[in-house]
A and B are shown apart, each in its own frame.
Chain A
Amino acid sequence: MTVEELRSRFPALDTNVYGKSLVYLDNAATSQRPFSVIQLVDTLAFTENANIHRAVHRLSSLATARYEEARAFVRSYINADGSGDVVFTSGATSAINLVAFSFGEAFVSPGDEVIVSVDNHHSNIVPWQMMCSRKGAQIKVLDIKENGVLEVEGLEKLISERTKIIAIPHISNVLGIINPVKEICKIAHSRGVPVLIDGAQGIVHSRVDVSDLDCDFYVFSGHKVYAPTGTGVLYGKSEWLENMPPYMGGGEMIESVSFSGTTYARSPQKFEAGTQNFNSAPALVPALSLTAEMLKDKELIVKQNAVFDYIFDALEANPRVTLFGSSRENKVPLFSFSVDGAHHEDLALILDKNGIALRSGQMCAEPLMDRLGVTGLLRASFAPYNTLSEAEYFISCLEKAINMLV
């Protein structure tokens, strides 16, 4: 597939801002959606809008079947069949909150420890802090090496008798470096400790196989992987999910309810209280199908590698620019950098007026910003639909902006 063919599937890419063509480089925050996703959500609203898992009528059966087919699709997409189950959530954040709460209730006692890595998004830090303060447990921090990769060597020492769980990102949303998550799972499991992987970026850039990784939990959001906002996935191994209490109480998560006592349904229904996002969750199917297609399309891969090399070389060649996560190995096309003498916010503002959308600030990763010794960065994150000429335009505007500011 050519990049142009791919672009034609994403209507938002034709947007104009300030009379200029949009150059969308904020894909790590929210990716654009293809027609297949937009149209499915529309179709379901027109023809299959009824509450799932409840009524016997026709529309409800159709909606239920659609929702459960999506679950089966996701389960198979991440190769979860046989090892665990997929719980639909509103995003990675709610998935992590669910695990932090329910896992904490079942398995964490005062004095226990949770290992959280420094390159996590706040979403994979704060829920653990909340659980630890509720349970009287404490956080231990796993550091990164100079090249931005998690310090696997330090993990052995960090794990103690009291370690209950390890929470890490598959790919840091700031550094764009692919962590050795399989190796980390192996080390953790040799000490009897489960691992939760935040796959918000990982699901976008790799064909995730949870059975191969052997992780205990894997979570991701739909909106970063070409699906609608408000969709998300929690994969958990059955041995954990079955032994964790519900996170929220409500309709459809129960087996029977009475005032003398309520019993709960089994996973995944146990974790899906209340009316679910049945209009949007099925759109994970076309979104992930396209992701898989893009990840194996040779022409797109060649084009994206060219964009990667161009941006990496241009940023590295600029003496004012410091790139964080500056390894060419195991890196996805996500570039966070600072510019000596220019504030990231000023740069983002000027680039915005040139039609370029990118992220500036702390990127929901304050501990990592502290670790890197910066108050904020600029981040350009590319999707396969971004062209080399967009990359060139971005670099030329960046250079102009630097000249204005420095």
Chain B
Amino acid sequence: MFNQLKARFGSGLAVGVIGMIAIWIIGMVVLPQLLMVDYSFRPNLLPVDIGGPKDIYTLANYNTLFTNEIHLKIFFKTIWSSVLVTSITLLVSYPIAFYLAKVATPQKAALCLVLLIIPFWINEILRTFSWYIILAYKGPLNALLLSLGFIQRPIRFLSGDGGVLIGMVYAYILFMIFPIYNAIESLDSNQVKAARSLGAGWIRTHWRVVIPHAKPGIATGCIMTFMLAAGSYAVPSILGSPGSRWFTQIIYNWFFEGGDWNQGAAYAFLLLIICIGFIALVMRIFKVGLGDIAK
């Protein structure tokens, strides 16, 4: 590999390139992850005991989760809710992505894309905060529903998981729309026309022509959305209540309130495993390879 680089750029630059990549891959990506895993299998010890006889590999940190009913419940709720967020986001995004890629004129599509990006240049915190205002007990949504007579008494949107789900769909929808848009855009429009003129209805056209083509985009969108939702800290901490905690909040508490980093590392590793498992599952369902993702 070095020789190929050297042949193109000369040895000085080739060494520089390899060096920079090595620093990043080894020092920032691989070693920290491995160390986190190593950490998660060790007990939380005082500095004096580290390296001593008590410093052994143990599954105790993982056992904590499975014996703590509340944590376990939040763990599964986080997974299930993230799946829900991903599915809702997919359903909302697909028509938009298709419209932008195949229905709208290029001028209109370009304008829509700029409009789409604007909310996403704005902080996740601020975007979530705006939903906090809308969904508040005395907020505008309740005021609107009351004045229209749909409800008799304000709804507490922010006391359950409902607010968190709404906020997450809003926060991560662009990560679903863009990959699907990119995938559908590369589909030859004649294929859609051909399917239509050969008598396929709209649903069948989508099911048999557009969706199979858009598979890598759908897979990428689902993976990104799930990862962002499961790993979200901002949205549940702003839109959630003490009763609707997210798994990331428990991890945070282990680090900065419980002061047990080893325990926190174990929980973090479990979260990572869930995300990797989801990626593997999606790749299998959509039959796409790693190379198709994140194009």
- Bound pair (A, B): no
Chain B residues with a Cβ under 8 A of chain A: none
